[in-house]
Amino acid sequence: MNTLSYLTVDVFTSTRFEGNPLAVISDARGLSDAAMQKIATEFNYSEVTFVLPPEDPRNSARVRIFTPTMEIPFAGHPNVGTAYVLGQQAELFGRPVGEKLRFEEKAGIVEVDLKRSGGNVAAAAIRAPQPLTVGDTIAEETVGRCISLDPGVIVTTTHAPVFASVGLNFAVAELKGLESLAAARPNLAGFQAAAGRQTTSGHDFSLFVYARSADNPWNIRARMFAPLDNVPEDPATGSASAALGAYLVSLAPDADMDVRITIEQGVEMGRRSIIALDVVKSGGIVADVVISGRCVSVMRGEIILQD
């Protein structure tokens, strides 16, 4: 019987059964694309990662990321969780694992810093692989239909609903307070209609909504809905958080900034996650976005490949 080992971790938390679960197959050599997709669909997590030897020996590994429905070019919590898992190994494809890793992904090279506590890996920080890009605006009525809310609760003071990306494209929209955020419910028909009219790249139409106060604008509560990817709601979305954080910093009046942003997600699901972002703006341009968070191991096991 051929088997394949896996480990699951909860990402952006230090408490088991909170945060965002991730399955990591740390040696996926020999698996076909179709097999990877079937395994990801079977886990039904928001993402599963498959680790392969790097194509360039200067890098640590090639990492492929699959949702239950498709492969995507980049995501936050899969990179943080994969780095946490690989950082606990003595070797990675015959080479020692150091404090820094470089992952080859469809979106580009993802640089990773491991954070250790008492000699053990506790957290990881990853650098967004692409600069901020901002796409088309989205009608407030479209956002409202997607999450079953009146368009009047969508705040446009800072920005209209819009597509933003630092490696994976998301629709982002601000809502009027925590009550509106808690009331959001994904409407599949609304997402299907939005996907038919709007363009995105790398995955199906996914919506990241958030609320924040004037008193503490860099502490944000968010929710992410992606029912077209079989993810009705995601407990923690590092790639969306990074895109939002970079976009908000780009809109701030200061030409030079170094901002720590904290995004709390998954609260309404009972899976509280804490995503830390460090965003640097220089000369009016967002120059660097780093996503960091803690992780905790949950399960390990084997996938039966054939009898």
- Residue 238 has φ and ψ, to the nearest 5°, of -65, -40
Distance CA 18, CA 296 (A): 9
DSSP symbol at 146: H
Task: Judge whether 47 counts as a catalytic residue.
Answer: yes
Q: Are 75 and 11 in contact (CB under 8 A)?
A: no
Q: Are 176 and 166 in contact (CB under 8 A)?
A: no
Residue type, 203: H
CA 272, 193, 33, 1 torsion-angle sign: positive
Distance CA 271, CA 262 (A): 16
Dihedral over alpha carbons 190, 148, 218, 162 (to 10 degrees): 30
The CA-atom distances, in angstroms, between 175 and each of 104, 147, 295 are 35, 11, 29
Among 47, 104, 105, 233, the one annotated catalytic: 47
Max CA-CA distance within the chain?
62
Catalytic residues: 47
